[in-house]
Structure 1
């Protein structure tokens, strides 16, 4: 084990941990805005209760996401300084815009939304949550545009004098075809997570507190969340299909590794289960569906999909001797876990809708258990999706331009990386406990009581404290 191995583990752990909060924040920001819009248009009090209820969970998650996200930028300078030096001219532009425009937009208007319930006009207050939600999604796009450069470098030239990639076309970076499909795919996955949380919390209250005066609000929440899950599942599959075809075009090794496809096939079969040799060079046993992989990868049932061994030979000839094959079991199984977990969440959502048909009230403890597990499924699916995306690119940190081993900081020792890795892991573990307890505590508390508190006597309006909704 050397500093490179630990630096990779640290970046992987902190990035996956941070991404546990990102999809929930992205999805809930829009869904809370939708709930408040329903209240604004109908005046129905249950929508206001649900807005404040799920808005509280959104704020807890948003705060934790901000805290854990700060570490990502520090890691580029600490452990990956050579990589930062190489792509700094490219990464600097989208990340600067993300911080100066998108993040400030969402953070400013979230503040107005939190403290403006009794101060701002209803329309302006509603506009605040929509502005915050738009900022959150813009932030995601700029970050994904930067990441997409690592998958498919565009809009740059390499300067051999400085040894750096220099930006030549910022519009090309923002319109990278990988970014254009990754963003809607990530957005759909985020709605899948957020919808699952809405279902889980609402279902718990429907089953455990069926005689509550707010049962109608919870029943609406479970149905609303279930439809969000089902629609977003369909969008995930649709965008994922497009993403698979683009991936085959720009990173054919990743697609081959995802399928355990060792030799070029035309037509190519989709692997239901493949067992390979220990050295990862050939297939020993496989269960396959004919023609499906060709269609998924190329759009043609008889299309050609290149295999791992043929691509390895091409890359060795093109880039020099060495292994250009990712860790096959990681890419193969993370790809399948991503799909299976997302489909499981959709199945539970369908079951929840079925149990509430024609005004029925679900009572099954097994359904309750499935509902409580439901948010974890798409959350893990998102995580496995990113593990597949990043591990499938290996050994490249910037595909075709820089190997991961060449991006690590040269002056950081193994002991220093181990120290920061241990410290971050312990801090993140503590934050995970805090996040979980806060979410459970406020989820169990239920929707708020909207009975207005009595106004203090003889208090000048200018001296009245800001109204904090939570």
Structure 2
């Protein structure tokens, strides 16, 4: 084990942990804005209750996401200085815009939304949550544009004197075809997570508190969240199909590794299950669906899909001796877990809608258990998707331009990386406990009581205690 191994583990752990909060923040920001819009348009009090209820869960998650996201910036300079030097000119523009425009838009209007209840005009207050939601999604786009450069470098030239990639076309970076498909795919995955949380919390209250005066609000929440899950599942499949074809074009090794395809095939079959040799060089046993991989990769059932061994030979000839094959079991299974977990969440959403048809009230404890597990499924699917995306690119940190081993900081010792890795892991573990307890506590509390508090007899402001109320 050396500093490179630990630095990779640290970045992987902290990034996956941070991304647990990202899809929920992205999805809930829009869904809370929709709920408040329904209240603004109809005046129905249940929409206001749901807005404040799920808005509180959104704020808890948003705050935790900001805290954990800060660590990512430090890691670039601490453990990956050579990589930062190489891509600094490319990443500077999109990440600066993300911080100065998108994040400030997001954070400023979230503040106005939190403290603006009953202080701002209703339309302006509604505009605040929409502005915050737009800022959240803009932030995601600029970050994905930077990440997409690592997958498919465009809009740059390499300066051999400085050893850096220099930006030549900022518009090309922003319109990278990988970014254009990754953003809607990520957005759909985020709605899948947020919709699942809305279903889980609403379903818990419907089954456990069926005689509550707010049962109607919770029933609406479960149906609303279920439809969000089903629609976003369909969008995930559509955008994922497009993404697979673009991935085959720009990173054919990643597609081959995702399928455990060792030899070039035309037509190529989709592998339901593949067992490979220990050295990852050949297939030993496989269960396959004919023609499906060719269609997913090329759009043609008889299309040619290049295999791992052929691509390895090409890359060795093109880039020099070495292994250019990612860890096949990781890419193969993360790809399948991503798909299976997302489909499981959609199946539960469909079951929830079925149990509430024609005004029925679900009572099954098994359905309740499935509902409570439901938010975890798309959350893990998103995480496995990013593990596949980043691990499938290996050994490149910038595909075709920089190997991961060449991006690590040269002067950072193993002991230093281990120290920061241990510290961050322990801090993140503590934050995970805090996040979970806060979400469970406020989810169990239910929608707020909107009955106005009685006016105090003594109206002398000087004698009234200061209080904060959300």
Contact kept, 8 Å, 1:115 with 1:466, in 2: the verdict is no
Q: Is it true that 1:202 corresponds to 2:212 in the alignment? A: no
Q: Distance in 2 between matches of 1:454 and 1:130?
A: 32
RMSD: 1.4
Alignment partner, residue 168 of structure 2: 168
Q: Distance in 2 between matches of 1:461 and 1:291?
A: 76
Q: Secondary structure at the match of 1:368?
A: helix
Alignment partner, residue 115 of structure 2: 115
Contact kept, 8 Å, 1:115 with 1:467, in 2: the verdict is no
Alignment partner, residue 33 of structure 1: 33
Q: Deviations over 1:30-86 (max 9, x none)?
A: 000000000000000000000000000000000000000000000000000000000
- Residue 453 of structure 1 deviates from its aligned partner by 1.8
Q: Secondary structure at the match of 1:10?
A: helix
Q: 1:363 to 1:73 in 2, by over 3 A?
A: same
Q: 1:290 to 1:49 in 2, by over 3 A?
A: same
Q: Deviations over 1:71-105 (max 9, x none)?
A: 00000000000000000000111000000000000
Q: Distance in 2 between matches of 1:179 and 1:94?
A: 12
Q: 1:52 to 1:274 in 2, by over 3 A?
A: same
- Residue 457 of structure 1 deviates from its aligned partner by 6.1
Q: 1:37 to 1:3 in 2, by over 3 A?
A: same
Q: 1:372 to 1:89 in 2, by over 3 A?
A: same
Q: Secondary structure at the match of 1:410?
A: coil
Q: Distance in 2 between matches of 1:415 and 1:215?
A: 56
Q: 1:218 to 1:73 in 2, by over 3 A?
A: same
Q: Distance in 1 between matches of 2:463 and 2:194?
A: 38
- Residue 118 of structure 1 deviates from its aligned partner by 1.2
Alignment partner, residue 256 of structure 2: 256
Deviates more, 1:450-459 or 1:151-160: 450-459
Q: Deviations over 1:260-288 (max 9, x none)?
A: 00000000000000000000000000000
- Residue 456 of structure 1 deviates from its aligned partner by 4.8
- Residue 174 of structure 1 deviates from its aligned partner by 0.2
Q: Distance in 2 between matches of 1:155 and 1:306?
A: 27
Q: Distance in 1 between matches of 2:361 and 2:330?
A: 42
Q: 1:466 to 1:118 in 2, by over 3 A?
A: farther
Q: Deviations over 1:129-159 (max 9, x none)?
A: 0000000000000000000000000000000
Alignment partner, residue 229 of structure 2: 229
Q: Deviations over 1:406-457 (max 9, x none)?
A: 0000000000000000000000000000000000000000000001123456
Q: 1:362 to 1:404 in 2, by over 3 A?
A: same
Alignment partner, residue 129 of structure 1: 129
- Residue 343 of structure 1 deviates from its aligned partner by 0.1
Q: Secondary structure at the match of 1:52?
A: helix
- Residue 311 of structure 1 deviates from its aligned partner by 0.2
Q: Distance in 2 between matches of 1:90 and 1:453?
A: 55
Q: Distance in 2 between matches of 1:252 and 1:457?
A: 74
Contact kept, 8 Å, 1:184 with 1:239, in 2: the verdict is yes
Contact kept, 8 Å, 1:248 with 1:255, in 2: the verdict is yes
Q: Give the unaligned 5+ runs of structure 2.
A: none
Q: Secondary structure at the match of 2:256?
A: helix
Contact kept, 8 Å, 1:154 with 1:172, in 2: the verdict is yes
Q: Deviations over 1:220-262 (max 9, x none)?
A: 0000000000000000000000000000000000000000000
With the length of structure 1 as denominator, give the TM-score of the two structures: 0.98
Q: Distance in 1 between matches of 2:393 and 2:152?
A: 10
Q: Secondary structure at the match of 1:288?
A: strand
Q: Secondary structure at the match of 2:284?
A: strand
Contact kept, 8 Å, 1:397 with 1:407, in 2: the verdict is yes
Q: Secondary structure at the match of 1:273?
A: strand
Q: Distance in 2 between matches of 1:464 and 1:309?
A: 76
Q: 1:141 to 1:247 in 2, by over 3 A?
A: same
Q: Distance in 2 between matches of 1:114 and 1:176?
A: 36
Q: Distance in 2 between matches of 1:6 and 1:281?
A: 26
Q: Distance in 2 between matches of 1:167 and 1:351?
A: 50
- Residue 458 of structure 1 deviates from its aligned partner by 7.4
Q: 1:189 to 1:460 in 2, by over 3 A?
A: farther
Q: Distance in 2 between matches of 1:332 and 1:46?
A: 45
Q: Deviations over 1:362-403 (max 9, x none)?
A: 000000000000000000000000000000000000000000
Moved over 2 A (4+): 454-470
Q: 1:39 to 1:329 in 2, by over 3 A?
A: same
Contact kept, 8 Å, 1:18 with 1:68, in 2: the verdict is yes
Q: Is it true that 1:330 corresponds to 2:330 in the alignment? A: yes
Q: Deviations over 1:305-338 (max 9, x none)?
A: 0000000000000000000000000000000000
Contact kept, 8 Å, 1:115 with 1:468, in 2: the verdict is no
Contact kept, 8 Å, 1:37 with 1:126, in 2: the verdict is yes
Contact kept, 8 Å, 1:195 with 1:228, in 2: the verdict is yes
The correspondence of residues 407-446 of structure 1 with structure 2, limited to 5 A, is 407-446=407-446
With the length of structure 2 as denominator, give the TM-score of the two structures: 0.98
Q: Secondary structure at the match of 1:284?
A: strand
Q: Distance in 1 between matches of 2:244 and 2:461?
A: 58
Contact kept, 8 Å, 1:356 with 1:362, in 2: the verdict is yes
Q: Deviations over 1:110-142 (max 9, x none)?
A: 000000001100000000000000000000000
Q: Distance in 2 between matches of 1:280 and 1:8?
A: 21
Q: 1:185 to 1:461 in 2, by over 3 A?
A: farther
Q: 1:461 to 1:26 in 2, by over 3 A?
A: farther
- Residue 469 of structure 1 deviates from its aligned partner by 4.7
